[in-house]
Structure 1
Amino acid sequence: MRTFSRRQFLQRASVTGGLSVLAPPVFSKISLGRASLTTISDGHLVLPLSFAIGSNPSAKATEILRDHGISGDQVRPSCNVSIYQDGTNTVLFDVGAGPDFMPSAGTLLDSLSAIGVAPEDVTHVLITHAHPDHIWGLLDDFDEPVFANAAHLIGRKEWDYWWDPDTVHSIGQSRMTFAAGARRRFEMMEDVFERFEDGEEVVSGISAVATYGHTPGHMSFEVRSGNEASLIIGDAIANHHLAFQKPEWPSGSDQDADLGIRTRLALFDRITADNLSVVGFHFPGKGLGRLDKTSSGYKFIEETT
C-alpha cells in the first residue's frame, strides 16, 4: 500500500477538500530535441527600488526602469523555476522560496500541480545558488524534504561557501539570514546532496557552467538535446532592465560586483553568439526566451507559448 508523508497528505487534502482552489498559472514551454523545457512561477519578490538601482547613477537608472514600466518605490521581479523532461528524467532547477521567505513567493507546488507534476515525480534537483528564493523550498513545514525521491546536486564551491560557519559572520548584516537559512537546510540534507564541479555533465544532457559573482559558487546549466540547447542562468543576469541596458554597471545583488560584471558580459556574448534560448530566474513573465543585441544593449524576447 502506498504511503504519503505529512506534507503530501496535507497537499492532497487541500485539493480534495476544497480548501484551496487556484487557477492554473501561466507557463512557458519549448522543445529541445525530444525533450522539453518548461518554466513555471514561484510567485514574485517585493524589493525597494533602491535595491535595484544600487550605487549606479540614479537619474539614468530611473529612466531605464521607467522605459520598462517600472516606477514608484518598489520592484517586483518574477521568480521562474525551470523543469526539464526527457522521458526518463524530470529535472527541477532550483526549488523556490518555500513558505518562509516572502508572502508573495513560494507558489511552486501549486504551479507544479497545474502542469501535472507531483513532487515525487521529480528525479533531480539542481541548485544554481543558495539564496533564499532559490533554496528555501527544499524543506516543508515539517522540515521534511519536499522532493524526497530526487537526487539533489549543487556546485562544490557554492556548498563549501554556505557550509562554512564563518560565512554568517562575514557576509554582512543584511544577508546574515541568508547564510543561516542555507546552513540550516544543508545541515538537514547533508547526506542527500551531491556536489559537482564546473564543466561536469551532472545529468544526461545537462552540463554545469561556472557563473561566479552573484554568489561565490553560482552555477548555470546548459541543457542540450540533439542540436538544440538552452542556458539556465539563475541570477547570473539578475534582471531584464539595468543588467541588459548597462551590463557594465555593478549589481547590488551580486556578492562580488566586479566578478559579476565579467560573468554577465561573458554570458551575453555566449548566449547571442550561440543563439541560445535562455531562462533567467527573475526575467519577466516566466523568464524563458531569447536575447537580441540592440544599439543600447540587449533586449529580452519572451517565449509566448
Structure 2
Amino acid sequence: MTDPATHPTTSADTLPKPTAMQVGSLRVTALQDGHFDLPTAFLTSPTGESPIADATFNLDVNAFLIQDANRNILVDTGCGSQLGPTVNKLVPSLRAAGLAPSDIDAVLCTHIHPDHTNGLIDAQGSAIYTNAQVFVHQNEIDFWLNDGRREQATGELRQSYEWAHEAFSPYAGRIEPFRSGGVLAGIEAIPLFGHTPGHCGFQFDGGGTDQLIIWGDVVHNIEVQAREPEISVLADVNQSEARSTRLSIFDRVTADDVLVTGMHVKFPGFGRLRRAGAGYEFTPDP
C-alpha cells in the first residue's frame, strides 16, 4: 500500500506530493520532476499505424528515493533546467519528502538521457548532489561520455552529448561504472539494452518476497505498450532490441509477480503487470 508523504510540496498546484511505499525493509518514495506533452508520433508501431487517436499524450517524468537504515539512494535525477517550464521540479519534490540534495548518498542512473541525468547539475553547471557517488552502466559511459563520439555527432544528438558531458563533469572522481549484477548491497542491476546501449533497471531487495524493479524507460506509455509491447519510441537507439527487452522484462515481472515502476509510468507509477490476451495489463498498486 502507498501513503502520501506528510511534507507539503513547494508548488502544490503543479507538483504531486511524494508518494511512499514500504517494500520490506525499504522505504521507496516516488518523486515527480514534471511532465511533457508529446506528439503521438513519438510512439512507433511496426505496422506504421498510430496506436493513439489523440494528437498528444502526457509523459510523466519520475524519480525514486530508496531509503534503508543507513542510505538515501536516488534513482535518476530528472530534467534539470534545460528542458522547459513543465519539469525541473525534482529538488522541491525531494525536499517535500524531507531531504536535501546533500542527504543523498548515491545516485543510480538508469541511462544517460537528458530527462534522467540533466538534473545532476543546477543552472550554473554545479553538482547538486554534493555527497553522492554516481552509478552508471559502463556502456553508457562509453557511448555518451566519449569525446570522439561527441565531436562526430550532429543536430539533436550532438546536444544530447553536450548535455551528458556537462552533467557528469562535476562528478569526476565520484562516478562508479557497473555492468550487471550487484551494484550496492541489496541492489541488482538488470541490463535492459535497446533504449540506449547501457539502459538498465534495478531490482531492490527488501527481504524475502518483498522486491521492487524500477525498469527505467522500458515503456513511455504503459497502457499502450502493455497491450502492444511491439510499440517502441523514436528515442530508442535500437528499436528492435528495445522491443525484445520489453518482452523479456514483461515476462520476468509477470512470472515473478514482482512490484514494478518506471520513470514514465503515470505517477506514482507502482503496480503489477499481468497477462491479458495477447498482451499484458498494468494494474496500479494500490
Asked whether the two chains share a fold, i.e. TM above 0.5, the reply is yes
CA offset at residue 208 of structure 1? Answer: 0.8
Give a deviation string over 1:64-108, Cα, whole Å, max 9, x none.
xx5xxxx2x222200111111112111100000011112211100
Matched ranges for 1:196-275 at <5 A: 196-199=178-181, 201-227=182-208, 228-275=210-257
On the 8 A contact 1:232/1:278 being kept in 2, the answer is yes
On the 8 A contact 1:27/1:41 being kept in 2, the answer is yes
On the 8 A contact 1:96/1:106 being kept in 2, the answer is yes
With 159-168 and 280-289 compared, the bigger mean Cα shift is at 159-168
Structure of larger gyration radius: 1
- Counterpart of 1:209, as a letter, is I
Helix, strand or coil: the match of 2:117?
A: helix
Residue in structure 1 matched with residue 40 of structure 2 by the alignment: 49
Query: Which of 128, 132, 138 does residue 156 from structure 1 map onto?
Result: 138
- Counterpart of 1:214, as a letter, is H
On the 8 A contact 2:17/2:96 being kept in 1, the answer is no
- Counterpart of 1:266, as a letter, is S
Assess, with a 3 A threshold, how the Cα gap between structure 1 residues 57 and 92 changes in structure 2: closer, same or farther: same
Helix, strand or coil: the match of 1:77?
A: strand
On the 8 A contact 2:118/2:163 being kept in 1, the answer is yes
Assess, with a 3 A threshold, how the Cα gap between structure 1 residues 54 and 136 changes in structure 2: closer, same or farther: farther
Matched ranges for 1:163-202 at <5 A: 163-168=145-150, 173-199=155-181, 201-202=182-183
Residue in structure 2 matched with residue 15 of structure 1 by the alignment: none
Does 2:70 align with 1:88?
Answer: yes
CA offset at residue 189 of structure 1? Answer: 2.3
Give a deviation string over 1:247-300, Cα, whole Å, max 9, x none.
123432211011111100100000011111111110112212111211142222
Residue in structure 2 matched with residue 300 of structure 1 by the alignment: 282
CA offset at residue 52 of structure 1? Answer: 2.3
On the 8 A contact 2:30/2:63 being kept in 1, the answer is yes
CA offset at residue 217 of structure 1? Answer: 0.6
Does 2:26 align with 1:35?
Answer: yes
Distance 2:171 2:132 in 1: 12
On the 8 A contact 2:125/2:166 being kept in 1, the answer is no
- Counterpart of 1:31, as a letter, is Q
Distance 1:56 1:182 in 2: 33
- Counterpart of 1:29, as a letter, is A
- Counterpart of 1:36, as a letter, is R
On the 8 A contact 1:56/1:250 being kept in 2, the answer is no
CA offset at residue 172 of structure 1? Answer: 5.9
| Cα RMSD, aligned residues only | 1.9
Distance 1:54 1:166 in 2: 33
On the 8 A contact 1:155/1:218 being kept in 2, the answer is yes
On the 8 A contact 1:54/1:252 being kept in 2, the answer is no
Residue in structure 2 matched with residue 116 of structure 1 by the alignment: 98
Identity of aligned residues (%): 31
Assess, with a 3 A threshold, how the Cα gap between structure 1 residues 21 and 281 changes in structure 2: closer, same or farther: closer
Query: Which of 77, 81, 106 does residue 99 from structure 1 map onto?
Result: 81
Distance 1:216 1:113 in 2: 32
Helix, strand or coil: the match of 1:46?
A: strand
On the 8 A contact 1:285/1:302 being kept in 2, the answer is no
CA offset at residue 174 of structure 1? Answer: 3.4
With 78-87 and 187-196 compared, the bigger mean Cα shift is at 187-196
Following TM superposition, the consecutive aligned residue runs of length 4 or more in structure 1 with deviations greater than 6 angstroms are none
Distance 1:144 1:174 in 2: 23
Helix, strand or coil: the match of 1:253?
A: coil
Distance 2:191 2:10 in 1: 40
Greater strand fraction, Structure 1 or Structure 2: 2
Distance 1:169 1:121 in 2: 36
Helix, strand or coil: the match of 1:43?
A: strand
Residue in structure 2 matched with residue 22 of structure 1 by the alignment: 11
- Counterpart of 1:149, as a letter, is N
Give a deviation string over 1:99-138, Cα, whole Å, max 9, x none.
1112211100111111111111111100000100000000
CA offset at residue 49 of structure 1? Answer: 1.9
